[in-house]
Amino acid sequence: MQSLDQIKTRLETACPGARLEWVENGAPSAQHSLRVDREHLRAAARFLRDDPVLRLDYCSNVTGVDWPDRAVKAKVRRTVDGVEKEVEESRLEPGYLEVVYHLYSMAAKHGPVILRVRTPNRSEDVSVPSLTPVWRGCELQEREILDLYGVVFEGHPDPRRLLMWEGFLDHPMRKDYVEPDDYEYEPTPHDRVAERAEAHRRSATPAGGEGQGTGGASC
């Protein structure tokens, strides 16, 4: 199989204007990846699938990643008391959501090639093109990512929630997700879940009365 550098060069030729970024993996596996801008994601995917040399006809895994806002420090030049100095300042780097695709070729027996795409932020603009029209195996996995991370896949043929019910608020795999303490949906709470459910039941009970509780607070 061609190296990731060679694939990047060929993608830049096949998809004029695409913004491709090499993402290094420092783990022992050294599975480096390519990040592509979302405007060219589907064109890049089709090239990787249809190219007669690469023939990446199988997407084995699709996963989501949540990158919250973070404070970073940088050294800048500032004038302090009439003297220009180098000072360290903190700034907020906006977070984003990311989708990662692992691609293989069943025909040519090689892979993986890892493709990444990110959203501009993790609040208002959280959509990326669906790659289900390119690799059908993405269908359920993209629905999982919609459910757990909140990424909206434009052009998905069946964009329903998969793991949580319609009306469930928030996305449980987000790093700032706050789990509920009532667990009304848990039919057999146990261990920490039971403790939190019982604490919620007690707090919801009116003073001097038994109250209704939450239902499902006991095993």
Rounded average pLDDT over 22-28? 92
Mean pLDDT of 21-26: 93
Is the per-residue pLDDT at 219 higher than 50? Answer: no
Q: What is the pLDDT of residue 47?
A: 97
The pLDDT of residue 5 is above 70: yes
Cβ-defined contacts of 101-104 (< 8 Å, 24+): 101/45, 101/59, 101/61, 101/62, 101/131, 101/135, 101/138, 102/59, 102/60, 102/61, 102/62, 103/48, 103/56, 103/58, 103/59, 103/60, 103/135, 104/56, 104/57, 104/58, 104/59, 104/60
39-69 residue pLDDT tens: 999 999 999 999 999 999 999 999 999 999 9
| CA gap 23, 217 in Å, rounded | 47
Positive/negative CA dihedral, 200, 204, 208, 212: negative
pLDDT of 186 higher than 80:
no
28 or 86, greater pLDDT? 28
Q: How confident is the model over 119-165, as pLDDT tens digits?
A: 999 999 999 999 999 999 999 999 999 999 999 999 999 999 899 88
Tokens of 200: 């919620």
> What pLDDT is recorded for position 139?
97
Average pLDDT, the chain: 87
- pLDDT surpassing 70 at residue 187: no
Query: H or E element: which one contains 198?
Result: helix 191-204
Tokens of 20: 């491709």
60: amino acid identity, one letter: S
**Domains of the chain with CATH codes:** 4-65+96-168 (3.30.460.80), 179-219 (no CATH)
